[in-house]
A and B are shown apart, each in its own frame.
Chain A
Amino acid sequence: MNVSRRWLEAFLRRPLDSADVARRLAALGATVDAIEPLHPGLEQVVVALVREVRPHPNADRLRLCDVDDGSGTPRHVVCGAPNVTAGKKYPFAPVGSTLPGGLTLEKRKIRGEVSEGMLCSARELGLGQEHDGILELTTDAAPGTSFLAVADIADDRLVVDVTPNRPDLLGHKGVARELAFSFGGTFRLPAVPGSDGPAMPTPLRSGAEASTGGVRVAIEDAVGCPRFLGAVLRGVRVGASPEWLRARVEAIGMRSINNVVDATNCVMFELNQPMHAYDVSRLKGPAVVARRARPGERLTTLDGADRPLAGSMTVIADAESAIGVAGVMGGAHSEVTPETTDLFLECAYFEPQGVRATRRQLGLSSEASYRFERGVDLWNGPEVLRRAVEIIQATAGGSLDGDPVDLFPQVSHPPRIFLRPARVTQVLGVEVPWDAIERYLVAIGATVVSKPDDGRIAVDVPGWRPDLVAEIDLIEEVARLHGYDNFPTELRPFRVGDLPSAASEGIDGRLRQGLVAEGLFEVQTLPLGPAAGAESVRVLNPLSAEEGYLRARLLPGLIRRVEGNWAAHIRDVRLFELGTVFLAGEVGSPPREEHRVAGVITGAREPAHWSASGKSPDVDLWDLRALFESTAALAYPGATVQVEGGEWVAHAPGGQVIGWAGVASADAPPWAAPVLGFELLVESSPRSAPRFEPLPVNPAVTRDLALLVPAGIAAAALGDAIRKSAGRLIEAVEVLDEYRGAGLPAGHRGLAFRLRYRAADRTLRDQEVDASVTKVLTVLREQHGIELRAS
């Protein structure tokens, strides 16, 4: 909401400082996002007296002027305006000043004559469109006086961030009410120049139908339009707005159109009630009816667009067809034009949700729809209409034809709320004195109907505060006007809750620690991306097609981040992410969410070091396998890693697949190393504590076996076979070495295993171990055809 400082000053009858106003409003809950000085660039413009005017020797339409700008040095100015007259005063832009249009004045020659500055027209000063000549000033001010001081046009536009619960602050009156409280003063509507005061009789209250000035007025859709006021003004002269009205409309950032349209806009920004003026001669009937749109009905709105209407929309119609979309925009056909002489003025209440639905359906927002959506004052129509009639009569003349009408089929009143001072204390933590509570409620325009004899106060809330519907709403008002900073700030004793912390948080912490210790950096990527398989969940209203689906895996996002690092010529990349993936759930239900961890590593295994001549081998699959297994152990208790289809797959104890590791495909530059990645489901139930096992007290005995292994036999299978045949004394079987190369039969490789034996209760004797090794070798030879490698 744009607010004019001068307009507020007119309400409060006192000069205001914009920064001070912003501070006061912020303390009351309305943040001022910006303070924009109007008429920037006029600071250097001064009042100047033209002493003499002579013809220009080389140009018929130019004149030479001697100008007194108060500097003591007469200025020679070449002027093209026909109205420049010796002895009169004009705004003067000296050399070096910059005008609102961006023009910086220099001393220069025009047709051979020196010109030292410019006498300005209203348009050149950004003060209107008139360009008939330079702006004549009627002032006693001495030459050299600041033009802004004389013209009295200095103003600031305050951009107020109005929260959706406060429609009253969408009008200057509402803002003035807050400031009046802040200053401890009063406020009232600004006087209308040229008016002797409001003269409109009270509108005649009716049900759903009436007539005024020969126009039939009716409500046929009382849901969409619960109240409708109308007046007919005849003999109006549509024309340019007077200076004060144009300044107000432009101060809040609207374009001045004509005195009638400007008057309705002025009322809207003053009282937060959108209005509309129709040309009576264009109304069929003549009639103005609030009804639902008919099937197939269309309307060309004020913006020139032809729009189809839906049966759910409330429209304003004449006897034949729609002439406006209720609360959103009027129609082009019945618009007020310079030829209009007779007006029908509409001041209605349109139901907020209906307006919201309609403007969405039409994709058409306006200042009016913005206000109706948030709720205008249902009970203030007569005052608004009176104000509009006063301004129009003062600026465009005309007289009322008959008494205005007020259709209000189902009369209602603003709600009455009961407030308990004890509840105020309960919520706010300290007692607010009763007289202060009453003062605050009166300041917002409420009526305190009864005193708190029975422990509660009856409060009639004002119609312009549709947000006040329950006791807690009044408590907020008490707190707000009391001042949040005036409440104590204490850390009082508290009880803790019963709910334990979510287990997953601790597990995430351990996963992060583990991966950071492995030299990986945590990243957070966008969980939106392209479709990835049938399980992907689609976003109905994505920002872009590339971000049209929720991620079903973490790895693709990480790989894109690796590619981003490659683009910055970074070869060694180690990243991980903890996050949610989404998989389609049951029809109509939220998707299934899985909490996962994923990691990628590529490039050097270690930072280069001089001891290895600055070389470090790249990470390979064995680095990945270890990283995968250690992460799986943290992410999912009891997880096992198996080889399936040439990749590693992690299984939960129940057999469910919970993870994957392998080489990831990426869009890699030629110098990049392969990208190795893994992804794992994180089991988020609390972990059971590990159990202590007694540490061994007896020494172990180890034996190394170098085996000649034919193709097709996996190391893991061989290890299992050794473990099974070695008897109960075997403690561990580890792969020690792999050899492929010269000296082996074709298709064979050498595998060395280290067997570790131990007995819990005694020191092992060599004979026992030798017997076991012999048995192992027998089994390997007889069942697997594997021999010891000749050494």
Chain B
Amino acid sequence: MAESHPQSLLDALRPRLAAVAGLDADALEAEQIAVLGRKSGALTALLRSLAALPPEERRAVGAAANELRQAFEAAFEARAAALAPAAGAAGAAGLDLTMPGRRRWVGAEHPVTRVVEEICEIFHGLGFNRAIGPEAETEWMNFGALNFPADHPAMDMHDTFYLDVGGDARPGDGKAVLLRTHTSPVQIRTMLAGPPPYRVVIPGVVYRKDPFDPSHAPVFWQVEGLAVDEGISFVDLKGTLLHFARQFFSPTTKVRFRPSFFPFTEPSAEMDVSCYLCGGDGCSACKGTGWMEILGCGMVHPKVLENCGVDAERYTGFAFGMGPQRIAMLRYGIPDIRLLFEGDMRFLAQLGRAR
């Protein structure tokens, strides 16, 4: 019964005194009734109940309660005066200060840019610098160097746009020019540029021959990462990506790793994070599983290191890749990927204000 004791009721009312100064006219009226109302005001009722207390206590609590009542009365009065219409009009030189201010156009970064930036920043804090590379590549850079066996069903996972650049190169011969299907060629460029250690994060646009539908686009963003050094293991991969997930989603995020297949990593994994909407209980966003598939990752395949002239016996590493568009859609509740390409001012303004 501590809750209803006059002293604790008094303590509960005190913080509301300071809040009076921020109330608008409607809220002020409601609060006046709630605190000092003749019938059901909290303080009124409290004062009434004092009669039931032993005399000693009645005196102490009564004094404090009366003091508080006076303070409330003063605060309500001051607030009412500040809100009076005359006060608005009586501002500097008789202006009506309730009139709207003069605004300027406010722009915003694209929501996907914001997600890309956040991802890169978190990895920057883990020692990853940014690397970028061209969007048109040779077949060798996009597939061969990354240990895709020539003409293998693994290529079917990447429906590829090829470019007409003249010459005699043909799809399948390694020299043909294509639009990169992942940012992984930048891993190769990074490793060809100098000796290990490497620690880079690679944002960029990639292309797959998927027609537009609510969850697919022929062009999309990817952020990849690569860490290669002596002594880097699967444990580092898990630790780094858990750290990322907790920074990006929430400090209580859980992760789960499932075996998967990518030609350029082995062992390969998919990382799921606990759904940040339902916390893992299951909801429509996570299709009731409590998990969301966020990124693919794995230990860099020794063949890939060798293709770049890195001693695969001495150096090991991990790589990962994720789709910021998908992450943006999950985070902001965007139902259709096409909205990200349409440039609708209302959409951009809505998400520009969001954080």
Contacts and interface: CB of A to CB of B under 8 A. Distances in A.
Interface of A: 26-29, 31, 163-166, 352-353, 356-357, 373-374, 426-430, 470, 472-473, 475-476, 479-480, 484-485, 487-492, 494-502, 504-505, 509, 512, 515-528, 537-543, 547, 550, 558, 561-562, 564-565, 568, 570, 572-576, 579-580, 582, 584-585, 587-591, 593, 606-607, 609-611
A472 B340 CA distance: 40
Contacts of B231: 426
Given A164-B153, A356-B151, A491-B243, A496 B266 contact: no
Contacts of A565: 343-345
Contact of A540 (B151, B163, B229, B266): B163
A427 B233 CA distance: 5
B274 to A, nearest CB: 13
Given A472-B301, A606-B104, A526 B218 contact: yes
A353 B150 CA distance: 9
Contacts of B109: 512, 516, 522
Interface stretch (B20-28, B56-64, B132-140): B132-140
Interface stretch (B11-19, B34-42, B234-242): B234-242
A537 B163 contact: yes
A476 B267 contact: yes
Interface in B141-200: 150-154, 156-157, 161-169, 171, 175, 177, 179, 190, 193-194, 196-200
B269 A484 contact: yes
Contacts of A494: 126-127, 199, 227, 229, 232, 236
A324 B109 CA distance: 59
Most buried by B among A429, A519, A542: A429
Given A476-B266, A516-B109, A591 B163 contact: yes
B256 A537 contact: no
B15 to A, nearest CB: 39
Interface string B222-261: 0000010101111110111011000000000001111111
B258 A27 contact: yes
A525 B194 CA distance: 35
A540 B162 contact: yes
Nearest to B153: A164
Contacts of B131: 499, 501-502
B236 to A, nearest CB: 5
Interface in B92-141: 99-100, 102-110, 112-113, 117, 120, 124, 126-132, 134-138
5 contacts: A164-B261, A356-B152, A504-B132, A519-B106, A611-B102
A542 B344 CA distance: 26
B151 A490 contact: no
Most buried by B among A473, A526, A572, A591: A591
A373 B260 CA distance: 20
A430 B235 contact: yes
Contact of B110 (A27, A476, A485, A523): A523
Interface string B308-319: 000000001000
Contacts of B301: 472
Contacts of A517: 107
Given A429-B236, A494-B227, A564-B343, 9 more contacts: A470-B302, A472-B266, A487-B235, A518-B105, A518-B107, A521-B348, A540-B162, A540-B164, A606-B103
Contacts of B108: 516, 521-522
B260 A356 contact: no
B344 A568 contact: yes
Nearest to B233: A429
Contacts of A516: 106-109
B107 A522 contact: yes
Contacts of B157: 164
A519 B227 CA distance: 39
A95 to B, nearest CB: 33
Contacts of A374: 153
A480 B43 CA distance: 66
B134 A475 contact: no
B102 A485 contact: no
Contacts of A164: 152-154, 156-157, 261
Contacts of A357: 151
Most buried by B among A480, A491, A527, A573: A491
A639 to B, nearest CB: 22
Contact of A492 (B100, B236, B260, B348): B236
B135 A593 contact: yes
A340 to B, nearest CB: 34
Contacts of A609: 100, 102-103
Given A524-B112, A527-B205, A489 B235 contact: yes
Contacts of B161: 539-542
Given A475-B267, A517-B107, A609-B102, A573 B236 contact: no
A368 B191 CA distance: 40
Contacts of B134: 590, 593
A590 B138 contact: yes
Contacts of B82: none
A165 B107 contact: no
Nearest to A573: B345
B48 interface: no
Nearest to B270: A31
A524 B340 contact: yes
A405 to B, nearest CB: 31
Contacts of B194: 498-499
A538 B235 contact: no
A525 B258 contact: no
Contact of A428 (B120, B153, B234): B234
A376 to B, nearest CB: 13
Contacts of B150: 353
A212 B192 CA distance: 58
A576 B113 CA distance: 13
B26 to A, nearest CB: 25
Contacts of B232: 494
Contact of A525 (B129, B302, B341): B341
B292 interface: no
A561 B36 CA distance: 58
Given A427-B233, A497-B127, A521-B345, A487 B238 contact: yes
B352 A501 contact: no
B129 to A, nearest CB: 4
B342 interface: yes
Contacts of A491: 236, 239-240, 242-243
B299 interface: yes
A551 to B, nearest CB: 11
A505 B340 contact: no
A763 to B, nearest CB: 39
A570 B268 CA distance: 48
Nearest to B137: A590
A163 B261 contact: yes
Nearest to A490: B239
B355 interface: no
A28 B259 contact: yes
Contact of B130 (A505, A528, A541): A505
The 7 closest A-B pairs by CB, nearest first: A588-B167, A519-B105, A429-B233, A29-B259, A429-B235, A561-B343, A163-B261
B198 A499 contact: yes
B219 interface: yes
Contacts of A541: 161-162, 209
A496 B236 CA distance: 14
A492 B235 contact: yes
Given A504-B132, A512-B113, A573-B345, A496 B199 contact: yes
A582 B343 CA distance: 22
Most buried by A among B113, B235, B255, B340: B235
A526 B165 contact: no
Nearest to B227: A494
B344 A497 contact: no
Given A427-B299, A517-B107, A565-B344, A528 B234 contact: no
B211 interface: yes
